[in-house]
Amino acid sequence: MTVSNELNLPKPWIEGRFEENVITTTVEQAINWARQSSIWPMTFGLACCAIEMMAAGASRYDMDRFGAGAFRATPRQADLMIVAGTVTYKMASRVRRLYNLMPDPKFVIAMGACTVGGGPYFKWGYHVVKGVDLVVPVDVYVPGCPPRPEALLEGLMRIQDKIRGHKIHVQKGTNIKIPDELPLPHHSGYVDAPADQDPLLDHQKITG
């Protein structure tokens, strides 16, 4: 066995053994690298913070530099939900539903004072959810009213840090089932789906 230094540490098994044109890495690092540099956010502007989110996506701040400029209009293609704006109780079930529709691994940024904790609506806002973390799990909080685009980019970089820290063997158990499901929304409000039927399949039947 070759000894690399006085501390008697073994040399890395494969890294740096080849010429410069050959790059070696671990599968874990490769997957994390690919994931962190293509976080596709979902278009999810709910109120005024959405304007600042658009500014972050436009040419001056350019979220494409982080590989996160492809705002998707469907949760099926999105990895990141930037909840930008006031979440009302009426919207809360939709937020939860869209979050559930996103493929794993999925991340949530709560952007702005209203989203992270009710903000100015905390005391008298009868219709505002006091923090979106009561509805979906939040990974990064970005305070401000609204936050600057730089603050949102900072939040995005923290998401990237989080992805970089992922381990493959931990990855298996991350499909967490959220226990308290909200009722399914339909065009006019809430319906209570019958418990013995699959709510997604029977949704059309219930709404008529």
* List of residues contacting another protein (CB under 8 A): 59-62, 65, 89-90, 92-93, 113, 116-120, 122-123, 126-127, 129-130, 133-135, 139-145, 148-151, 153-155, 157-158, 162, 180, 182-183, 188-190
Least Å distance, CB 13 to another protein, is 33
Distance CA 111, CA 46 (A): 10
Collapsing DSSP to helix, strand or coil, 72 comes out as strand
C-beta closer to another protein: residue 10 or 189: 189
C-beta closer to another protein: residue 102 or 156: 156
Least Å distance, CB 26 to another protein, is 25
Least Å distance, CB 196 to another protein, is 20
Cα-flanking dihedrals φ and ψ of residue 180, to 5°? -100, 90
Alpha carbon of 72 to those of 41, 82, 137, 145, 148: distances in Å?
A: 6, 11, 20, 25, 22
C-beta closer to another protein: residue 21 or 59: 59
Which residues, 6+ apart, have CB-to-CB distance to 190 below 8 Å? 93, 183, 184
Least Å distance, CB 129 to another protein, is 6
Distance CA 137, CA 140 (A): 10
Least Å distance, CB 139 to another protein, is 7
C-beta closer to another protein: residue 18 or 139: 139
C-beta closer to another protein: residue 75 or 185: 185
Collapsing DSSP to helix, strand or coil, 119 comes out as helix
The amino acid at residue 100 is N
Q: What is the DSSP letter of 147?
A: P
Alpha carbon of 59 to those of 54, 65, 79: distances in Å?
A: 10, 10, 22
Distance CA 36, CA 29 (A): 10
C-beta closer to another protein: residue 27 or 109: 109
Least Å distance, CB 75 to another protein, is 20
